[in-house]
Amino acid sequence: MPEVPDFPRILIPVAFQNFDPAAIGLSNYQATALNQIRNDFNAQLTGQQQNPADPQYAQSWESAQMQADDRVRALLGWDQFNQLQIKAFQKH
């Protein structure tokens, strides 16, 4: 049997979790800021023309994911961020 490479587990930033911003009570400012966080995450990864099969890409993803999550946490606060993160893990 061929050896399977050991890839790190990729986490989706909380900003990309499937939720309705209005349903969780986000203001227009927060919803706009959340969209900006999504756009910035995408720009960090696509702007570098990286190959998703390259281990460096996984490192770039992890760095961008942590930055995006930090920004969402600052925007929403710890409690709401944690609730969204728990819901995301329950779906998987």
Q: Look at 64 and 17; give whichever has higher pLDDT.
A: 64
Note the pLDDT tens digit of each residue in 29-52: 999 999 999 999 998 888 656 777
Average pLDDT score over residue span 75-90: 87
Torsion 61-63-65-71 (CA) sign: negative
Mean pLDDT over 66-75 rounds to 96
The answer to whether the Cα torsion of 34, 38, 39, 43 is positive or negative is positive
Percent of the chain with pLDDT over 70: 85
pLDDT of residue 56: 85
Tokens encoding 17: 């979790």
The answer to whether residue 1 scores a pLDDT higher than 60 is no
